[in-house]
Amino acid sequence: MLYETHFTQNHFDLMTTESNRQLAKILLSNGASLEKVNKILMCFFSDSVMLREIFKHANNPEATEMRLWRKAIDKQYDKAIRELEVLLSNDLIPAPTKETIIQKDIEKLQNTHKFLTMSSLLKPSIKPNPASLQQMIIFQSWALYKYLKNFKGQETDNKLYDFISELLKNIYNKTLLAPGIKKLNGNLLKKNFIDNAGNLPRKKYNELEKVYDTLIK
């Protein structure tokens, strides 16, 4: 797993290819901020996305059994909460009763539900919420490209794609993402990640842009 402390180092120092080492110097000399690069990486990363992926695809008996009882719990708790929420809109029930008793019962059920299903552990804090590991990398790569292209000078976009792909491979080389990302290159990064940001649902893309804007101020 990764933690926030992993995103506070100088990742440009991890570059191994000479062309990317030179581009790192160009980016920094033109005003790129390592602090903002790390902010982008941290903001669009959550261990919960990895945990969720592991839990989703694990096929050992314990994981399979857990998914089954979580499904049963989700169904019954969701039903109980919905039925209580109906009472909140019932005009025959006094407002104080709804506010002090029924609403508290709903909150208790919601909290118990989260505890039993570990939903808070598996819920990423990223905004927008990535639907998958790939979408998390889409957020990161799109934001990195959008920021760093302002400092690449006369260098081509293709060189910047190569640079970002090596940056991400270095960061995730000892994580769950390593097997899928080790073959990443500039072309694949552009095609499968950066360009795919434009295919996000409009609401999610707008939220992504809004978060990005707050990071680079």
Note the pTM of the prediction, 2 decimals.
0.71
Tell me, yes or no, whether 58 and 19 share the same domain.
no
- Alpha-carbon distance of 190 to 160, in angstroms, equals 10
Residue 101's pLDDT is: 92
The span from the first CA to the last CA of the chain, in angstroms, equals 29
Residue 183's pLDDT is: 87
Q: Is the peptide bond before 94 cis (omega within 30 degrees of 0)?
A: no
Expressed as residue numbers, the domain containing 82 is: 50-117
pLDDT above 90 coverage of the chain, percent: 57
Tell me, yes or no, whether 176 and 132 share the same domain.
yes
How many separate domains does the chain show?
2
Average pLDDT over residues 93-101: 90
Per residue in 170-182, pLDDT (tens digit) is: 888 877 777 878 8
Tell me, yes or no, whether 11 and 60 share the same domain.
no
Q: Which has the minimum average pLDDT: 8-17, 160-169, 184-193?
A: 8-17
Q: 30: pLDDT confidence band, cut at 50, 70 and 90?
A: very high
What mean pLDDT, rounded, does the chain reach? 87
Tell me, yes or no, whether 91 and 107 share the same domain.
yes
Average pLDDT over residues 109-126: 73
Tell me, yes or no, whether 183 and 147 share the same domain.
yes
pLDDT winner (highest mean) among 6-10, 51-55, 85-89, 140-144: 140-144
> Last residue of some domain: 117, 137, 165?
117
Of 36, 14, 9, the residue nearest 24 (C-alpha): 14
Tell me, yes or no, whether 109 and 141 share the same domain.
no
Residue 113's pLDDT is: 82
